[in-house]
Structures are given as structure tokens and as C-alpha cells.
Chain A
Amino acid sequence: MIAARLRRSPAPLLGLAAVATAAASWLPLLPVLPPLLTGDAFTGLAEPRLAGLFLRTLRLAGGAALLSLLLGLPLALLASRLAAPGRSLWRLLLPLPLLLPPLMIAQAWHGLTGMDGPLAALFALGVCAAPFPALLAARALERQAASSHEAALLAGGPRLALAEMLRTATPAALLGAAFAFVFAATDFAVPDYFASVGEKFSVYAAEVFNAWRRAGLDPADSASSYAEGMAVAAPLVALAGLVLLLALAAGDLTGGADRGSGRRPPLLPLGRAAAPAALLGLALTTLLVLLPLGRIAWETGRAGPLAGGSWSGRAGAAFDQALDLGREDLGRSLANAAWAGLGAMIVAPIWAHLLVRWRRRPRAVLLQTALALPLLAPAVGFGLGAIVVFNRDLFWNFYDGPGLPPLVLGGRYLPIAVFLLAERLSRVPREREEAAALAGASFAARLYRYRLGGAFGAWLLAGGLVAVFTVREVDLAILLPAANHTAAVRYFNALHFARDNFVAAFGLVIAAVLFLPVAAAAALRGLRGPEDR
């Protein structure tokens, strides 16, 4: 009877998840289906210009993913498992580049070095995405069985223990690099920024936008031009999907082999190497966080539109202006983020539950693919799809109202929450759900209360990540009229109108607002002690 209860399909909840995901994640991709299925959309792909665009984007995304891996993996080791000074600080600052708007990183590095062109975009996107491999690898390292680490120490000393840590972290870091690849491949704003300040170049996300713009704003025309633009992206979407699914499969194959006794693995003593390791941590953190933030902070008071007075006077005026002009937009962004994050916290666990239940079956791969699609498509294309679908008489009030931005923005980033929670739910002891089923708990209670209750940190992180990406997303927000009055769009516009002081101050305000909950959560985690591993 209990087995039957555990197997029973939670139809109402699945229906809710399916409807919400369809509306938020899949509907905006619908217009591209007919021309993709008939093959009409691929007629232009043989053009040398598009092939060049494809190769450039591939190089850009591949390079950014590699850079994120090279920066993220050592930082993960330093922040999680090496006994070097500064570990807590690196751990706290690790997620920060992910919270900063990528445009802000781009602006900072352009200001610092004058870099431009595709290599600059590669660098900025790699730096922005470094927390993906870093955070995932750090989590994997923190979950390594303590006995496995200690056996390596006894059998081969610190060198073997370090090698074993690298083997433990690599699948997770590769998954993070796959996310970095996806984000870099689908980004429009950062390459567009570097193209606008120096050497002109284009990426395929821009082609999606340009194809739509060439056809004008008529819904009928834009539907076909959107499809044409997305078709340009199709090979790269497929490649990004393949990379992501392979990385997910690799993590799945190697992640669950040895869970150990639940004891936290100890730090690896470094002896005389502790000081160089601390210096490396400082160098990486400086590159990822301190230099860009320092540059942006300096720009708040730099002579510019707010010329006159001292640096501190100009910086103060810039922050006043940022809070004055940007307060309402930031409020709308946070409201969108809250709704998107909350929605993800309700819907993502249901899909995560199914992915765990269907583990290693073909239908799990199908579901993973379907769920990953909105993330794999360029945000520009996703936004144009949302316009094609929702800009109709039937949805007129909704299209212009406050409901569309959180729906579409949340829909695009839902896969991150699902994959994160699927990995976490796979480690919740099955007995917990069975005991709850024996006690008569419903599916919803078992999932949300008993399984996620012990993994509250991961659940909150899943919603938090969706919220953060909702705030910093500019490519999509700039296209949707209802999302135009948000912090990211105001930042984008101000940047392109060269209002440097305001841009810097507003960027720092956004970063601070996003970072505060992370810092609070870190402090809370320190107070509460570890949750279930």
C-alpha cells in the first residue's frame, strides 16, 4: 500500500508544474517550431556569413567556459578544502561575480585595461561565469567522503589527496563550465558592449535580434523572422544542449558512488605551501571581484557628467542620483525576482522529483532536454518569442502588466533551479519519504516538507539563483515593454548614454542588494550549522 502511495502519480501537482512551465518556459519557444520542423528555417545556414558567426560564437563560448574552469576550479579548492589563510573570505566572495550584472564586469574591465573586441567579451563572460564551476566544484569537494580523503592521505600523502580532490571536483566543475558555455553562447549584451566601444563584431544572439528588426514589428512578420533568427542559433543551441546534458550525465555517473559516513572531510594541510596558496586565492579573488568592484567604485566619483567638486562629493552625488532615479526600477526588479524565485521554488521541486525518480532512464534525458531549452536559447530569441506569443489581443492586459516579466524571466532560469534541486533530492535518504508516506503524508507534504525540509539551503539557493538571474537579465528585459522599467534596463541604457558616475553607483547598489542576502545566508549557515549533506 505504501509502495502504491509512493508510486502514485501526483497528477494535480504535475499538472500545475506542466502548465506553469509551458506558459513560462516553452510557449516563448513555440514560434520557432514550425519552420524548424519543416526545415524552412535552415535554408540560410549555408551562408558563409552565418557559418562565420557560428564559429565566432563557438570560440567565444568555448573560451569563456575554459577560462571559467581555469579560474573557478582552483578557487573552489582554496575556498572549500585547502588549509590556507583567507578561506572563509574566498568562500564568501565566491558567488559575487555571478551576482554582478555581466555588463558591469565588462564596463569595469574595459575601464581598467581598455580591452575591446571578441577577446574582451570572452574574458568578461569567463570571469562572470567563473562562479558556476567554482560553486559546483566547491559543493562537490565539501561532500567528498571524509574517509576517502583520509585514505588518500594515508596511502599517498597530500599529493594523492589533492589528486583525489581534483577527481572529485572535476565532474561538477565541468558541469559548471557547461553552464558557462551556455550563458556565454546565448549572451547578447556583453559582446554588444565590447563591439560598441571598439572593434566591431557580432555574435549569433545579435543575428536573432537583427533578423527580427529587419522584418519590423508586425506580429505576423516578426513570427517568421524570429524563427529565422532562432534557426541561425539552432546548431549552437543543439551543441550547448549536448554539452550540458553530457556534463549532467557525467556528474550523475560519478557523483553518487561514495557518499561516506556523512562526516565532513577535513581540510588538506598545506604546510609551507599555505602562504603561496593564500596569495593565489587573493590573486583570483582580486581578478574576479576586487578589481572590477574597485574600478566601479572609483568610477562613481570619477570626473564625468557630475564634474566639479571632490571625488567623494561626486561619488556621493552619483549614489544619491542612483537611489533617487533607480529606486523604483530596482523595486520592480526585486518584485519580479521575488515572484520568479518563489515560482521556481514551487515548480522546480516537482520536476526535480521526476528527474530523480526517472534517473538513468531515457525519459529523464528527454525531460532534462525539454527543461533546459529556455536556457539554451538566446535570451534575445526567448524574449522575441514571448512577444510573438503574448503580444495579441487575447493577452493584451497581461502583456503590458506586471505578471509577464516574472513569468518569462523565471521561465528562462527555471532549469537552473530544477537541476540544482534534482542533484540535492537525489541525496535525501529514501527512508525519509517512506517514513512520511507511512505516516500518511500527501505527496506535496512529502516533497516540500519532509524531503526539502532537510535541504532548505539548497531549496532557498535554487529560488535565490532564479531571482538573481531575473534581476541581472538585460537581453530579455530590454525587449519586453513590461520589463523595460527595471534596474537592468536602466543600467543598460545609462551605460550606452555614457552616464558613468550614475552607472557605476547604480551597478554597486544592484550588486549590494543582491549580495546582502548571500552574506546573510552565509552568516546564518555559520550560526545554524550544516544541514543534511
Chain B
Amino acid sequence: MPFLSVTGLARSFGRSQVLVEAGFDLERGGRLTIAGRSGSGKTTLLRILAGLERADRGVVRFDGVAASDGRRILLPPWRRPVQMVFQDLGLWPNRSVRRHLLDPLAAQGVPRAEARSRTRALLARLGLAPLARRRPGRLSGGEARRLAFARALAPEPELLLLDEPFASLDPVARAEGLALLDEVLAATRAAVVLVTHDPAEARALGGEVAVLRRGRLAPPRPAVEVCADDETFRRELAES
């Protein structure tokens, strides 16, 4: 039984059909990139997986248990084994870096001592320890991105959703972002679903790539095949 199973997912906004019968399976610890052009419905798909958005039809299952069924959200976001890194990061402007990790753990009932030690370890691992008392407004773009990843990793999710986390970065920052992705992948055993239109990110994640075309998700294929080079990837997207 796959860890994550998505079948027949459909979603439309007004007359615009964003997802049509989208489906895929993902094993525990698997890696999947959802690739598609801007506005193709990638983020909507991710948000449905997280339980932040309702589908019109289709089922999302974790370990065989239905989390969303059609318009019904059976498992709310906070009961799913999921964390997400948002495109605009979604940091909490009035909480310190340390609190970004500590407070979710406290909310999940992790004992205080354990929450502190996990927070310390994760901040150290992602190079945020010296910034522990800063608020997001006083972080650089790269530091803020690290914090968003650290927050998502802290509750040790089984599925990590990454919504174009390195979009609109300059080449240097993007290279740093890919290095960060390597660090993150080394730090977690979670399955990862990455949404992107950048072949370098898809290659860095590895695993498989599924291209979203006119709301339909093509069957996943190995990343080394779809993203063999930028031109191949561009052609795959152009067809969508």
C-alpha cells in the first residue's frame, strides 16, 4: 500500500478547470516533483494534499486512510502527517526564529525538554543557531528561507510539501537554495513533493517528475529522464 495515494482529483475555479482526474502514488520516503507552467494548478494540487483546499472530486489517502474525499476534508491539515514550505515562506513576523520551531512542537504536545533539544539541534544543523532570538523582519532572504525549512522539519513530518521554495531568486541565491535542499533532504526521511518549473530543482530532488498538462497529471517518470537537460525539460513543459 502506497504511503500517499491520490486518485481522480478535480478542481475548478469558476469556468477554469485547474485539475482534471489527477492522480499518483508515492511511497514512504519517496521524492516527486510536480512540474508545470505558471498557473497550471501545481500549487492547488499541493494545497489539496495539505488539506488547505477542497477538491471538487477525487480522494487523497495517507496509508490507505482517506484524508480528503471529494469536497469533504476528512482529516484537517493539523491531523495530517504533512508540513509545507510556502512560496512566500509564511513566516510569523512576531515570533523569534527559536519560537518558530518551539511553539509548533509545544502545540503538538512534545515535552518541553525534548522540544528544546530538537529545536537546538535543528537550528544548529541549518546554521540558524546564532540567529535564534531574531525575528523574521531582521533575517536575510536566505536565512528566512532556512527558517521556513527548519519550521517544516521540526515536527518530523512524513510528507514535506515544497511550493516553489526557490522561485524568483537570483542565480547565486538559487545555488544556495539547492545546497539547502540537499541539507534538508539529508536531515529528513520524509517523502517530499516539490512543485517547480526549474529543472535544476527537480534534478536536485531526484526521484520522479510528473508534468501537469492542462490540469491532467502525466504519469511520473524518473527525474534523470525528464530533466536530462534544460531543453528536454522545457519541451516537456511546453507541451503542457
Residues of A whose CB lies within 8 Å of any CB of B are 145-160, 163-164, 167-168, 170-171, 253-254, 256-258, 260-261, 266, 269
A186 shortest CB reach to chain B, Å: 31
- What are 29 residue pairs bridging A and B, where the CB atoms are less than 8 Å apart in the complex? A145-B90, A146-B90, A147-B87, A147-B88, A147-B89, A147-B90, A148-B90, A148-B91, A148-B92, A148-B93, A149-B90, A150-B50, A151-B151, A152-B92, A153-B52, A153-B78, A154-B52, A155-B104, A156-B78, A156-B103, A156-B106, A156-B107, A157-B76, A157-B78, A160-B104, A164-B92, A167-B95, A254-B137, A266-B52
Closest-by-CB residue of A relative to B108 is: A156
For window 190-216 of chain B, which residues contact chain A by CB distance below 8 Å?
none
List, in ascending order, chain A residues with CB within 8 A of B50's CB.
150, 154
List, in ascending order, chain B residues with CB within 8 A of A146's CB.
90
User: 1/0 per position for B169-208, CB-CB distance to A under 8 A?
Assistant: 0000000000000000000000000000000000000000
Residue contact A167 to B90, C-beta cutoff 8 Å: no
User: 1/0 per position for B75-102, CB-CB distance to A under 8 A?
Assistant: 0111110111011111111110000000
CA–CA, A464 and B91, complex, Å: 35
B135 CB within 8 Å of chain A = yes
Residues of B whose CB lies within 8 Å of any CB of A are 50, 52, 76-80, 82-84, 86-95, 103-104, 106-108, 135-137, 151-152, 154-155
Number of A-B contacts (CB under 8 A): 99
Task: Pick from A152, A154, A171, A257: contact of B135, CB below 8 A.
Answer: A257
List, in ascending order, chain B residues with CB within 8 A of A159's CB.
107
A434 shortest CB reach to chain B, Å: 19
Task: Pick from B78, B83, B87, B89: contact of A158, CB below 8 A.
Answer: B78
Residue contact B151 to A155, C-beta cutoff 8 Å: yes
Residue contact A260 to B90, C-beta cutoff 8 Å: yes
B68 shortest CB reach to chain A, Å: 14
CA–CA, A151 and B153, complex, Å: 12
Closest-by-CB residue of B relative to A151 is: B90
List, in ascending order, chain B residues with CB within 8 A of A269's CB.
76
A356 shortest CB reach to chain B, Å: 17
CA–CA, A280 and B159, complex, Å: 38
List, in ascending order, chain B residues with CB within 8 A of A258's CB.
88-93, 136-137
A311 shortest CB reach to chain B, Å: 51
Residue contact A155 to B88, C-beta cutoff 8 Å: no
Closest-by-CB residue of A relative to B88 is: A261
Residue among A148, A151, A158, A256 with most chain B CB within 10 A: A151
CA–CA, A151 and B87, complex, Å: 11
